[in-house]
Structure 1
Amino acid sequence: MRVTIAFICFLLPIILIAQISPKDSITQLEEVILTQESIPKKATGITPSSTISTQSFERFNPTDIPSAMNQISGVYILSGAINTNRITVRGIGARTPYGTNKLRMYFNGIPVTNGTGSSTIEAYDFENLGSVEVIKGPKGTVFGSNLGGAILLDTKPSVEDETQLLNSFSVGSYNMLKDNLTFSHSEKDFKLSLSYNHMETDGYRQNNQFNRDGILLNSQFKTGEKSSIAVLVNYIDYTAHIASSINQTYLEEDPTRAASNWLAAQGYEANKYLLTGLSHTFQFSEKLENTTSIFYTYLDHYEPRPFNILDEYTNGFGLRTNFAGNWGKSQFTFGGELYKDEYHWGTFENLYQENDGNGSLQGDPLSNNKEFRRQFNLFGTFTYLVTSKLSAQLGLNLNKTFYDFRDLFNQGENNASAERDFDAILLPNLGLNYQMEDGKIYANISRGFSNPSLEETLTPNGIINPDIAQETGVNYELGSEWLLFQKRLSANVTVYRMNVKNLLVSQRVGEDQYIGRNAGKTRHQGLELDLQYRGKLSQTLILTPYLSYTLNDHSFVDFVDGDNDYSGNPLTGVPMHRISSGLDVQHSNGLQLNLTHQFVDKIPLTDANSAYSDAFNVFHAKLGYRTSISQNISLGLNARVNNIFDSNYAQSVLINAVGFGGAQPRYFYPGNGRNYFGGVKLNYVF
């Protein structure tokens, strides 16, 4: 019923607006198309993908990248806190306890997913992003063929032939303060962008403070008529206190509470993250070009937790090269990607209970480990124009993964050092695209995989499990994209089915101890619908209603856990229905109103489907104004209210939570209550 009402609320303004036929509709249409096409597509050839731009980001709080990305059908970010995000794509990744894996992430074309497949989107400042492109499922051959697909983050491009200084300052509820200062310069053969960002907030809940500083350098310069070099440096230093998940009673009675043990330990994580990359592009001819990147990443992570203190650091480095060209009626790409990292981690006693209420206190060491991880991808695609309307694309990816785990703490028989060398896996991909006057129809079949995380490769005794296997799956997809009503309405609809075997299951054996095993098969099938209408009501007023709808019919096909048979149950951690909708109202005087809405259906919290989260609706509104103060200075003002009706809901959930010592299971991460923020943007053009 709620889903039906949301559809009616969205379609009604479209029907009304469609009756209006402005005289200059053709002129306005051209502006819309040019705006959308100004974002270059990174997905290769005819590979379908979804992209959101700066315009979509600006509908939301500058600290809230999950809400922006949740506008994409099939993509859902469960956000427990600013530093705790779990990205799921078509249900893939929903069983990961805390972070994001089973997909591959790139930042300005450089891979930023670590050696076991973990990605952290919170390492990047929302306001520095110009676009986010998502390839759903394993069809992105050039970007790893992971079951969850690929997420391609790109920074804002410099304005051609301009030098400018931009400052964006925001304040809000929970003592939130954020500032982003950017200097950019662009000329014929040289581009430079340098940003500094700072954010701090006390958070909605107890023990929820967050403080971050970051620097981003992005530069491109010509080294010859056919070659150019790009330099990228991204540094983030943040400390985030951890409120953790809470039980049903706390969620209903006081969602601002932190978990009692995390509050007593004053648990937090401190991170220093560095990404550096150097890319060289060379155009051999009009028909062949190569881009080669070398990169280095460093993460220093310290996390006092109630059960122990984790101290770790990771050095990662790699190389990626990609050739792209044309050959007659065909286009091709081929290349390779090598990523290696060294992961050092140890745990210590946390003596917070003996620290007179002052929080965590490091005690004796409990473990000391080192792991070398290596992943190698070879890839290639070939796209052929069969007729003037029909294109076919063949892709092939070869992956090889290796883990070398070294126990530096235990000696003799207790030493758990071991190696795990996964067999090479071949991942083919076939796509078809038929172009019509008002749209296109496409079909795809592709094979993908997911590597087990570090925790999933280990037994409870810390020994590498030699029997753990990679998840594999085959994805079938049929979709279409249309421009209707004089190309004012864009409509995209996709149906898919993905069969996954060797399902990786993280089984909880302690308060923060998980082991992995392969436990059967799942079937992911669903429908994704994206609608957007742009109507010009008058010479001065433009209305843009939009809607993204996701139907997830995901289930266990074969899943037996001990004496329990969960075969046929809906997949844990995935809502069946999800809607992201909104209305943008833009006036020619610079005034703009954004109304946004999200509906999330109930989510199964256990494999037995014995507990569910409640479905919820949450509404937001933002009012903005932009004007030019002088020829060189422009001003932007905005004010926003989030969660207008002060809904009490779970913004993220922890599946299969266990209540230790008779306590209730802690399934829920509460969403923020009603809150406010406002901001000022100043732009000076030299």
Structure 2
Amino acid sequence: MLHRYLSVILFSCLSAPALFAQAPVPTSLDDTLQINEVVVRGYATNRRLLETPASIGLLTRRDLNQRFGTPTLVPALNTLPGVRADERSPGSYRLAIRGSAIRSPFGVRNVKTYWNELPLTDAGGNTPLNALDVRALGRIEVIKGPSGSLYGAGTGGTVLFSGLAVPAGKTNVELSALGGSYGLYGNGVAVQSGKNNSSIAVNYNHLQSDGYRDHSAVVRDNLSLIGSFSVSPKRTVSVLGLYSDLHYQTPGGLNEAQFRANPRASRPATATLPSSAAQQAGIYQKVGYLGISHEYRWTDRIQNTTVLYGSTTDFANPFITNYEKRTDQGLGGRTITQFRLPGGPLPTTFTVGAELLRNFTVDRNFGNRGGTPDTIQTDEELIARQTTIFAQAETELPARFRLTAGLSRNDVRYDFTRFPVRSAGALPATTLTRNFSPVWLPRVALLRTFGSNLSAFVSISTGYSAPSSQEVRPSAGGFNTTLNAELGTNYEAGLRGSAINSKLRFDVSVYQFYLRQTIVRRSDAAGAEFFVNAGRTDQRGLEAQLSYDFISPSASTSSFSLLRIWHSMTLTNYRFRDYQQGTTDLSNNRVPGVAPTTLVTGLDAETRAGIYAHVTFQFLDQFPLTDANTVTSDPTRLLQATVGFRRPLGQHLTLDVYASGDNLLNQTYSLGYDLNAVGNRFYNAAPERNGIAGARLSVRW
């Protein structure tokens, strides 16, 4: 049935140009990768990428919602050098920026995320990335490396999200549907309305799948509301509302023999533990988020943005050995003020601000009887507080130099209370407090431009990452009072620019990151996790991104509106230093989970008749799965392709139909390994060759 559906879509793509040859073709999805023009928000500079002294990866709407048919963030993020996203089972995301996921068995830690200055990462250092739907996103910026001088704690990097752009004076309604292999089905509706002084966008998206592996089904519903209102010429108020209802089954990791014999199997029972399916292992997660942003421009030179948010999470996790129920309430705010002094011999922009986050968590563990909570085992509360104050100066120097200097103070505190769960002989409630010593994080960067198409920069930045709430209080319960914060220093140099009339674009950076008190994950015999500090790591890397336009987008005589080949490369050498595990010295071993070589190559083509095609090939070299480097992954070779047709139907309707293939080489591979896994259960098999087909119908007036 799926093959027939794909054939219909492909036939439509090929035949539609003749049917609508006289209709004007809408502009393609926004693509601002002209490196001498694109403006980025990183480090509050709002400057061209060419003039920004930092390694920043950019994903546009084309990258997020057209290049791949799979409606997840994972494939688009994996096109960026230095970035690796995993989906161990459908809905279970893990994100690494320059290897930052070595301490994340699941979820997103050690990375700060924002939506137009609104913090999405909570006070406990956790980010519900799976609560976002890629179909509601219009742009992502990824700042690679520690950015604590402006964004607070975190040694991995920072991710800045933006919604879809709303055209002024227009109203647009888009209906979408998709279907694919393994019971994949999704639909959505998006409404956008723009006026002269306001804009509003509402998105609802549904996605469900039976999953490739046994016991790996997922059901997800996402609702988002984004509004912006110009109250006066100087004042703008914006609102962001998110709600996500997600359930996915967790099939669990397999050992190598099980993975080779049947990669679709879920984790089987052992002599002492039941299977994942028998215990109905999975995640039930409801996330609500409401944020308000107020921007005020006193003058052309002074402006302030202040945001406030509240969030709530209802979380349940039946696991093989227990059943966790958790509720989180988060509150926070951020204020940032800019002073621009454009006159004088050294034009300077000053940025000052502060961020305050607080989370209150109630966490209870029960026995798990076939997916039903049994006798209570632990009853605990955790309060997390995170405070950051920061300042930054950006000065234009003679001879085309620009100096950026920033400094922040970061403070993290946890209050943990354990309550008695049995009346007989129970100890009274006890409260433990863990204050991590406040740290000052400086950053200095120097950039020089060479003409209008070339720039180079060097930077020194410091990173700080206190243990997240899920690390000081792991899933099995308890409170770790001995875990220390990570501290690091990053040295970096970069070169970016364009040539051959901007057809050739390049962005290259090299870095050396010295990380102390590196946090790594451990598991006990039952599979329950805990975390320890593993001494130092030295992390060296080279990241490069190249692209070439065979056809200039402005060429009026060509039948193509876009014909581009691009390539990204990541080379790493991450090694432990001074790392003792028991009596074994693991110094100089490679850090697990980080591929020494990652290559991604793509071809993007769009015609003025409305046909578009994207082909992407990824290669990951093998990498160690344990700290001891005794087990390594298989090399990964992943081929993906999408072909589609977008065309107006009259003046108000636009139809977009597409078909996409994933893992076209039919490789058996793991999209996300469990590192240092007990019982050598490292493997989480990704789907074999599969396909997706979908359609979008837009109405604009």
Please indicate, yes or no, whether the TM-score normalized by the shorter chain is above 0.5.
yes
Among 643, 646, 649, the alignment partner of 2:663 is 643
Q: Quickly say closer, same or farther: Cα 1:511–1:100, change in 2 above 3 A.
A: farther
Q: Quickly say closer, same or farther: Cα 1:449–1:338, change in 2 above 3 A.
A: same
Maintained 8 Å contact 2:486/2:515: yes
The question of 1:498 aligning with 2:513 is answered yes
Aligned to 1:104: 112
Among 157, 162, 168, the alignment partner of 2:176 is 168
Maintained 8 Å contact 2:591/2:624: yes
Aligned to 1:355: none
Q: Which amino acid aligns with 1:173?
A: S
Tell me the distance in 2 between the aligned counterparts of 1:652 and 1:122. 15
Q: Secondary structure at the match of 2:68?
A: coil
- Could you list the runs of 5+ residues in structure 1 that have no partner in the other structure? 1-27, 353-359, 660-664
Maintained 8 Å contact 1:418/1:463: no
Q: CA deviation at 1:486?
A: 1.8
Q: Quickly say closer, same or farther: Cα 1:337–1:379, change in 2 above 3 A.
A: same
Q: Quickly say closer, same or farther: Cα 1:39–1:75, change in 2 above 3 A.
A: same
Among 541, 545, 548, the alignment partner of 1:530 is 545
Maintained 8 Å contact 1:641/1:674: yes
Q: Quickly say closer, same or farther: Cα 1:654–1:213, change in 2 above 3 A.
A: same
The question of 1:282 aligning with 2:323 is answered no
Aligned to 2:493: 478
Maintained 8 Å contact 2:204/2:222: yes
Q: Quickly say closer, same or farther: Cα 1:459–1:622, change in 2 above 3 A.
A: closer
Q: CA deviation at 1:96?
A: 1.9
Larger displacement relative to structure 2 (78-87 or 556-565): 78-87
Aligned to 1:230: 238
The question of 1:74 aligning with 2:82 is answered yes
Larger displacement relative to structure 2 (539-548 or 412-421): 412-421
Q: CA deviation at 1:442?
A: 0.5
Q: Secondary structure at the match of 2:278?
A: helix
Normalised to the residue count of structure 2, the TM-score between the two structures is 0.89
Q: Which amino acid aligns with 1:156?
A: L
Maintained 8 Å contact 1:66/1:77: yes
Aligned to 1:344: 362
Q: Secondary structure at the match of 1:426?
A: strand
Tell me the distance in 2 between the aligned counterparts of 1:53 and 1:334. 29
Tell me the distance in 1 between the aligned counterparts of 2:518 and 2:365. 29
Aligned to 1:21: none
Aligned to 1:539: 558
Aligned to 2:248: 240
Alignment of 1:323-338 (within 5 A): 323-328=337-342, 329-338=347-356
Q: Secondary structure at the match of 1:116?
A: coil
- In the TM superposition, what whole-angstrom CA distance separates every residue of 1:483-511 from its partner, at most 9, and x where no partner exists? 01221011111000000011122222243
Q: CA deviation at 1:80?
A: 0.4
Tell me the distance in 1 between the aligned counterparts of 2:31 and 2:138. 19
Q: Which amino acid aligns with 1:479?
A: G
Maintained 8 Å contact 1:494/1:528: yes
Aligned to 1:53: 60
Q: How many residues align?
A: 646
Among 133, 136, 143, the alignment partner of 2:141 is 133
Maintained 8 Å contact 2:670/2:683: yes
The question of 1:92 aligning with 2:100 is answered yes
Aligned to 2:610: 590
Q: CA deviation at 1:362?
A: 1.9
- In the TM superposition, what whole-angstrom CA distance separates every residue of 1:619-639 from its partner, at most 9, and x where no partner exists? 011101011101001110100
Q: CA deviation at 1:39?
A: 5.8
Alignment of 1:86-235 (within 5 A): 86-139=94-147, 141-235=149-243
Maintained 8 Å contact 1:455/1:516: no
Tell me the distance in 1 between the aligned counterparts of 2:623 and 2:386. 34
Tell me the distance in 2 between the aligned counterparts of 1:221 and 1:32. 25
Normalised to the residue count of structure 1, the TM-score between the two structures is 0.91
The question of 1:653 aligning with 2:673 is answered yes
Alignment of 1:370-519 (within 5 A): 370-409=381-420, 413=427, 417-437=431-451, 438-457=453-472, 464-519=479-534
- Could you list the runs of 5+ residues in structure 2 that have no partner in the other structure? 1-27, 46-51, 269-274
Identity percentage of aligned residues: 26
Maintained 8 Å contact 2:256/2:683: yes
Q: CA deviation at 1:460?
A: 11
Maintained 8 Å contact 1:62/1:127: no
Larger displacement relative to structure 2 (199-208 or 407-416): 407-416
Q: Secondary structure at the match of 1:255?
A: coil
Larger displacement relative to structure 2 (450-459 or 374-383): 450-459
The question of 1:581 aligning with 2:601 is answered yes
Maintained 8 Å contact 1:183/1:193: yes
Tell me the distance in 1 between the aligned counterparts of 2:403 and 2:677. 46
Maintained 8 Å contact 1:82/1:122: no
Tell me the distance in 2 between the aligned counterparts of 1:461 and 1:33. 46
Q: CA deviation at 1:417?
A: 3.0
Q: CA deviation at 1:670?
A: 0.9
Cα root mean square deviation, aligned: 2.0
Q: CA deviation at 1:32?
A: 6.2
Q: CA deviation at 1:604?
A: 0.4
